[in-house]
């Protein structure tokens, strides 16, 4: 018999007062996969995670996590998952080792087992040297790694990461990305939310783009890029008048540099045809280049919002 998916949700809806936060979310995440929920602020990402992690009840819809119903089997779901929120939740007055030993004891391990588990996780997250320092002295990246380590004390099947790299510097973000890859290699299912397009592109086996409480597209990074175009024709125009004349054709816009991006299949024939179409008199376009389509193009096309860049 095939295994059930790690996460399966149908028709999740949630409102707060008159505000419809989720409007019928459907999701399916296979076991051992890294799945990214990508969307702008207010799109419903955190609410989705809170419902799947049993912290909030949906108004309607159904979901199963690690094979358990999130309402009927709430306790089993909680034993099978870990959740790391947008801000590191560590006790700054304790050392890193003390934080992990405390979490291990709360998970039911004996004192000796808690010490062993803490030492193992400190080593795994490259925190052994800092393990006996108060966490109030840790950098942002170290605190996030410790927070993730604390969530893995119980060796969960499904790991929820809600914007795990928000606010981190590029080096710390790279370190967290490696942690996510290691989790997947070890067999855990990782469900992460992010605004960072590069993050989703590099880490996720599948991506769902959510906007206005709905999933507006889902697939691999390459599949999503192909929905917009395989490539993008970037045009640098001569002046602002030309920019605004051609702006309606674009999927990528940069008025500061007078650059417009148009979808193309990348072939010479299509590029020539596009240039003839948008600039038949050959007076508006100063120069052009062909780029591979990116998740930025997908994001802008599907949500009509500026993405957050790394």
Nearest to 285 by CA among 248, 229, 233, 231: 233
* pLDDT 10s digits, 66-104: 999 999 999 999 999 988 876 667 788 899 999 999 988
Rounded Cα gap, residues 216 and 136, in angstroms: 41
* pLDDT 10s digits, 124-159: 888 899 999 998 898 888 888 888 888 888 888 999
Rg (the chain; Cα; Å): 23
The mean-pLDDT minimum among 6-20, 123-137, 247-261, 290-304 falls in: 290-304
Q: Which tokens hold the place of 4? A: 């059930």
Query: What share of residues in the chain are helix, strand, coil (percent, to 5)?
Result: 35, 30, 35
Are residues 207 and 194 in contact, defined by beta-carbon separation less than 8 angstroms? no
Q: What percent of the chain has pLDDT over 70?
A: 93
Beta bridge partners of 190: 34, 159
pLDDT at 172: 80
Domain residue spans of the chain? 7-219, 229-303
Please state, rounded to an integer, the average pLDDT across all residues of the chain: 87
CATH of domain 7-219: 3.40.50.300
pLDDT at 307: 46
Rounded to an integer, the average pLDDT of 99-113 is: 90
- Residue 22 burial by Cβ neighbours in a 10 Å radius (0-12, 13-18, 19+): buried
């Amino acid at each position: 018999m095939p295994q059930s998916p790690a996460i399966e949700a149908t028709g999740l809806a949630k409102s707060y007062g008159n505000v419809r936060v989720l409007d019928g979310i459907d999701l399916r995440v296979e076991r051992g996969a890294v799945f990214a929920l990508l969307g702008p602020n207010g799109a419903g990402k955190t609410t989705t995670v809170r419902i799947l992690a049993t912290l909030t009840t949906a108004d309607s819809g159904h979901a199963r996590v690690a094979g358990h119903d999130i309402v009927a089997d709430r306790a089993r779901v909680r034993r099978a998952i870990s959740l790391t929120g947008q801000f590191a939740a560590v006790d700054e007055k304790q050392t890193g080792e003390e934080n992990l030993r405390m979490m291990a004891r709360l998970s039911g391990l004996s004192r000796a087992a808690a010490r062993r588990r803490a030492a193992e996780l400190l080593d795994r997250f490259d925190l052994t040297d800092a393990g006996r320092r108060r966490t109030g002295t840790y950098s942002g990246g170290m605190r996030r790694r410790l927070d993730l380590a604390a969530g893995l004390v119980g060796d969960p099947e499904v790991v929820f990461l809600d914007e795990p790299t928000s606010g981190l510097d590029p080096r710390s973000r790279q370190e967290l990305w490696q942690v996510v890859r290691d989790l997947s290699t070890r067999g855990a299912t990782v469900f992460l939310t992010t605004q960072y397009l590069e993050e989703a592109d590099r880490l996720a086996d599948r991506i769902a783009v959510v906007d206005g409480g709905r999933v507006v597209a889902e697939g691999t990074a390459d599949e999503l890029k192909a929905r917009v175009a395989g490539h993008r024709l970037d045009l640098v125009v001569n002046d602002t008048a030309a920019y605004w004349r051609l702006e309606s054709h674009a999927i990528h816009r940069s008025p500061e540099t007078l650059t417009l991006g148009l979808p193309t299949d990348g072939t010479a024939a299509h590029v020539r045809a596009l240039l003839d179409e948008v600039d038949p008199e050959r007076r508006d376009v100063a120069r052009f280049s062909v780029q591979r389509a990116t998740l930025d193009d997908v994001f802008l096309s599907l949500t009509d919002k500026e993405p957050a860049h790394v």
